Structure 1
Amino acid sequence: MSIQKTHGDKGSFAAKQERFNQILWSARHIFPNNIKREVYGKLLLVIAFLKFMSDLTQNKASLTPKLDDKNNASIEACEEQLKISQKHSFYKLWQSRHKTGIGKRINQTLQAIEEANAKYLKSGKFSVFQNIDFDNKQLGNQQQRNTVLCNLLDYFNQSELALDISLQEQITINSNGFKFLIEKLATSKNDTQQSQTPTAISNLIATLLAPQPGDCIYDPVCGSATLLIQCGRKIFEHYKTSHYRLYGQELNHDMWAVAQMNLLVHGETDQRVVQGDVIVEPGLLDSKGQLMRFDVVVANPPFNSDNWSYLHAANDPFLRFARGIPPKSKGNYAFILHMIESLKSDTGRMAVTVPHGVLFRGGSEQEIRAKLIEENLLDAVIGLPEKIFTNANVSVALLIFRKNKIDNKILFIDTNKPRKAAKNSTKLSAKEAEGVSTVYYQYSQASSRLVVKEAPIKPHITQNIHEKIYTNEKRISLVKQHAYVASLDEVRNNNYNLNISHYIDNSNNQPAAEWDKLFQERKELKVQLGDLENEIEKHLKDLGYQG
């Protein structure tokens, strides 16, 4: 399998991406001021999707992009991709933009594309474009609609959205731009719930769970599929392979449609995302009608949902609530329990964002929490910066669960130090994320959690690997102000209260110096890991194994 990779001026590329994003977002001004975001947002995303996918078809690019985190695209040959014929392309619509009834023609084009690509654009009775209407009377009378849509097609056909760069770079810029447009539309939405998983958190989750080739990755409340895409990118970045599969479910139809478009723009064709209520009717079942099991499960569920199908839990046919039924007014543990039951017994690991109340509230939540801890499933509790979710004014933590733990300890990490807020949110810096990863990997290596997977490695080679990584005399060096490894007895003595302040004293911390130290340790570990990977690759080649 040949991999093509682009190399160029990163600064110049970043500038092009920023300009491209600005142009995309400015397209909203084409619509009259009285048009609601819910209306123009859908139309913007669909036109952008149609334009980007038409560009691939027009360039005869039977290639699927997998993107790394440095804004350089890598492309693998792929037999399947979204098919858009010339007569149904963006450019065919643009050519007829001055003819009356352009809204109806766009609708007919979208319907034809759905029929030709049902595998990707339909799920049961639902389809991606079924709630999209470019002939919507909210855009004005027939003449006004024609004018708005003509301007919209002209805008997306401008030269600044057709950069004179390589195909790989164009695909990267398109997919990054589409993601940017989704995020901007979400953050401009006036609600009190978390809308999108911040990029820093998506990156952190993918790093901590370390998805590997062959993994099946699942998000039961996938939203726009940001977490799924990031996990896929992490595999391609590290292993240069597309050998993985993404799965998801999303309750909201419009968001499910956005997820499908986002996945396809990012080149993720080996995926299955269904629409529906994952508590009432989980849509991913095996041949025996039971819940499918996955290697990696990730989610950013609704915080403290009071509309999580509480009445269904007592008679759940999948027995997800055997540990207890979460309170009707707070459904956080409903999603956690579903995720736990969706893990494979050997390789299963998961990450889930939760409001801090999940860590310490009493009642049925305490009972569920105690059982999860006693079953030795909880691996780590990571406190995230305050207000990191733009529209959710709650403190948030990241919980890591694993099915393959060999000790009964729990790692606590606190990133919530005094910081300067940027507008409504507080970001997790790249350096801080590196620090969290360093602590977690040191902890995992010290307790022999990291496992060499799938490769047919002989026993003596495996032993050498363990000698080099896992049996380190230093074991683990944690920053006392920011991390702590708690024993099961300690957690029991705290009555299963996971409030981070019970385990980490953050009163007189010196965050900058400590995180700098962790960052340096991370760099040193990367060098060691690179040497190890070279040795593993050599052994695999000797064995005749081809990745």
Structure 2
Amino acid sequence: MATTISKTLYQALWNSADILRSKMDASDYKSYLLGLVFYKYLSDKLLYHSADLLEKTTTDLNEAQRIYEEAYTDDELKEDLLENLQYDFSYTLEPHLTFTALVQAIYKGKFQLEDLAQGFRNIEQSSEMFENLFEDVDLYSKKLGATLQKQNQSIADVMKELAVLDVAGHAGDTLGDAYEYLIGQFASDSGKKAGEFYTPQPVSELMTKIVLYEKDSQKGFSVYDPTMGSGSLLLNVKKYSKEPGTIEYFGQELNTSTYNLARMNMILHGVDTVNQHLHNADTLDQDWPTEEPTNFDSVLMNPPYSAKWSAEKGFLDDPRFSMYGVLAPKSKADFAFLLHGYYHLKDTGVMAIVLPHGVLFRGNAEGKIRKTLLENGAIDTVIGLPANIFFNTSIPTTVIILKKQRDKKDVLFIDASKDFEKGKNQNLLKEEHIEKILDTYKKREDVDKYAHLAEYGEIEENDFNLNIPRYVDTFEEEEPINIVELGKEMLDLNQQIKEAEQSFLAMLDELQVTDGSKEIIEITKAVFSND
């Protein structure tokens, strides 16, 4: 039953985007739809809770709206109610600005965009937690329509579609997962622009289960993603931990729109505000966090691949990079992101990062950094993923697992590049593929044509090149040709051809011919006879 509800909710939410699809591309309309879904969630939650506080519990939003409006007219009741709402939710709304009231105004022909804009401002000004949360929802954009009236109508149409959904009435992570579904759909529609805000769920699952291995029952588990996007990697820890209510989330994101998306995503997944530590800034330019805690039980990262960064000489004194003596090149910040994440890993922690294969074998500064990491035993596992499983690139990628204070300097290589299901737009990692990788990771043993545990000496002999084909031989020899059998098959085939020719000539003899076709038949017989 729950699965049916989820699918219905997912599809209804996605269908709401139909109104905007003809007006703008996915990277734009995602802000409107996700913003409006979030506003409805906050509004509906406030109305239901108000009815509970007033001991008039109801599951009907219009009834809850009426109860809220009545309480608002009683000064004494209103003051007490707003105080409780602010304490419980950190925000309040005037009755005429709730999502339900605005939809009622739409059907009465009295809806004005300014009322919705005011509702956004009220939420944003209620608490630091909601500050600037709706700044990407431009209600007066020309993309919604050339005139104010058309802009008004576009938003009103989306709100009417969403109004029938009970977004606040779903238990657990149902709505949060539906929100993740929407983000994933937007990523699919956005193509290359999606890489900045979304990691496909199968990859997230794989990375999360690795960092949680033998730690899924740990209370107060801390996870850090310095390139968090929409927060999907962080939130997967909640999904697979046995102590989800105690997890501490730390995340940083450069893109403000994506940062706001992650904040909404956290709230919709029911993450307590005291457990959220999210920051909007440039991860490489300025280190964060710099105040305790600064090191974490796990680090999960899917940074932008081969991005440019300043690589200024001053970074050689930065504790994140200083021990390596060189910096990642300006044109490829891959190792800068890796070293940043590794710096913030606890001595007992596990880090998983997705990067392009170039980091495994490129030379110069990157080669020196890789050598130092290997000499220190930092690189634990290298996993080769299939091509075309990400929305923003078709290239094959690698998940690198890093640890601190390891007893050995060996590296496990897993070549999972051939295990996938071909999809319409992207290749898919299925559950059996993920489990195969995880099982191999845990056993840490050689698997023919799939995995190899390389000792440090072997890696040293390869000049610290970690290119997976150097360690995992996936070459399949073709079966030898049996000349005798092939000869027999050719003789049989020749006999079949002769029999077919004879049958064909017999058919020609039986045909009734005219003077015009007689010559053609005779020529045909002569050709076969010469053969």
- TM class by shorter chain equals 0.7 to 0.9
Quote the offset at 1:231 in angstroms.
1.1
Which position in structure 2 is the counterpart of 1:340? 342
Q: Alignment partner of 1:96: what SS?
A: helix
Q: 1:313/1:213 Cα in 2 relative to 1: closer, same or farther (>3 Å)? A: farther
SS of 2:195 mapped into structure 1: coil
Determine which of 274, 284, 287 is the counterpart of 1:282: 287
Say yes or no: does 1:155 pair with 2:161: yes
- Counting only pairs closer than 5 Å after superposition, residues 80-95 of structure 1 correspond to structure 2 as 81=89, 83-85=91-93, 87=95, 88-95=97-104
Superposed CA offset, 1:412-466 (max 9, x none): 11111265521231111101111111121223xxxxxxxxxxxxxxxxxxxxxxx
Separation (CA, whole Å) in 2 of partners of 1:343 and 1:266: 25
The offset of 1:257, in angstroms, is 0.6
1:103 aligns with 2:116: no
One-letter code of the match for 2:258? M
Whole-Å Cα distance in 1 between the matches of residues 88 and 435 of structure 2? Answer: 36
| Partner-residue secondary structure (3-state), 1:353 | strand
CA 1:193–1:85 in structure 2 vs 1: closer, same or farther (change >3 Å)? closer
Aligned partner of 2:19: which letter? I
Structure 1 counterpart of 2:270, from 267, 270, 277: 267
Specify the code of the residue in structure 2 equivalent to 1:495: D
Aligned-partner SS, 1:130: coil
Deviation at 1:208, TM superposition (A): 0.7
Q: Is this contact kept in 1: 2:211–2:352, CA < 8 A?
A: yes
Over 3 Å counting, the alpha-carbon distance change for 1:296 and 1:105 in structure 2 is same
2:211 matched residue in structure 1: 209
In the alignment, what sits opposite 1:388?
389
Q: Could you say what secondary structure the match of 2:246 adopts?
A: coil
Secondary structure in structure 2 of the residue aligned to 1:507: coil
**Between structures 1 and 2, the one with greater helix share:** 2
Summarize the alignment of residues 141-290 of structure 1 with structure 2, pairs less than 5 Å apart.
141-158=147-164, 161-162=165-166, 167=169, 169-191=170-192, 194-195=195-196, 196-210=198-212, 211=215, 212-235=218-241, 238-239=242-243, 241-269=244-272, 270-286=275-291
Rounded to whole Å, the distance in 1 between the matches of 2:314 and 2:233 is 27
Question: Separation in 2 of the partners of 1:183 and 1:105?
Answer: 30
What is the number of equivalent residue pairs in this alignment? 432
1:272 counterpart SS class: strand
CA displacement at 1:184 relative to structure 2: 1.3
Give the aligned partner of residue 538 of structure 1.
none
> How far is the alpha carbon of 1:321 from its aligned partner?
4.4
| Residue aligned with 2:399, SS | strand
- Contact kept, 8 Å, 2:316 with 2:327, in 1: the verdict is no
Alignment of 1:433-512 (within 5 A): 433-443=434-444, 478-508=446-476
> For the residues of structure 2 that align with 1:305 and 1:23, how far apart are their CA atoms?
37
* CA 1:316–1:330: 2 relative to 1, 3 Å: same
CA root-mean-square deviation: 2.5
Q: CA deviation at 1:494?
A: 0.6
| Greater relative contact order (CA < 8 Å, ≥ 6 in sequence) | 1
Taking the aligned partners of 2:420 and 2:246, their CA distance within structure 1 comes to: 40
* Aligned-partner residue type, residue 107 of structure 1: A
Flag the 1:497–1:179 CA change in 2: closer, same or farther, 3 A. same
Q: Which one of 3, 14, 31 corresponds to residue 14 of structure 1?
A: 3
- Note if 1:411 corresponds to 2:412: yes
Q: TM-score, normalised by structure 1?
A: 0.74
Is the partner of 1:232 in helix, strand or coil?
helix
- For 1:504, the aligned partner's letter is V
Letter matched to residue 310 of structure 2: S
Show the counterpart of 2:517. Answer: none
Offset at residue 193 of structure 1 (A): 7.0
Residues 366 and 30 (structure 1), Cα distance of their counterparts in 2 relative to 1, 3 Å cut: same
Aligned partners of 2:321 and 2:327 also within 8 Å: no
Secondary structure, aligned partner of 2:190? coil
1:392-403 counterparts in 2 under 5 A? Answer: 392-403=393-404
In structure 2, what residue type is equivalent to 1:110?
F
The answer to whether the 8 Å contact 2:187/2:193 transfers is no
1:44 maps onto 2:33 in alignment: yes
Shift in Å, 1:13: 2.7
- Aligned-pair CA distance for 1:386: 1.4
1:330-383: CA deviations, max 9, x gaps? 1100100101111123x2221000111111111111100000010111110011
SS in 2 for 1:35: coil
Tell me: CA distance 1:499–1:430, structure 2 relative to 1, closer, same or farther (3 Å): same
Structure with larger Rg: 2
Report the 3-state secondary structure (helix = DSSP H, G, I; strand = E; otherwise coil) of the residue aligned with 1:194: helix
CA contact (8 A) 1:251 1:277 kept: yes
Judge conservation of contact 1:200–1:428 (CA < 8 Å) in 2.
yes
Query: Secondary structure of the equivalent of 1:425?
Result: coil
Give the distance between the partners of 2:378 and 2:250, measured in 1 at CA. 22
> Could you tell me which residue of structure 1 aligns to residue 44 of structure 2?
55
Alpha-carbon distance between aligned partners in 2 of 1:230 and 1:353, rounded to the nearest angstrom: 16
* Aligned-partner Cα distance in 1 for 2:298–2:278: 15
For structure 2, the residue ranges without an aligned partner over 5 or more in a row are: 53-86, 479-531
| Per-residue CA distance 1:481-523 (angstroms, 9 max, x = gap) | 211111111111111111111111112399xxxxxxxxxxxxx
* Structure 1 residue 22, shift from structure 2 partner: 1.7
Aligned to 1:293: 295
Q: How far apart in 1 are the matches of 2:42 and 2:122? A: 14
Change (3 A) 1:255 1:419: closer
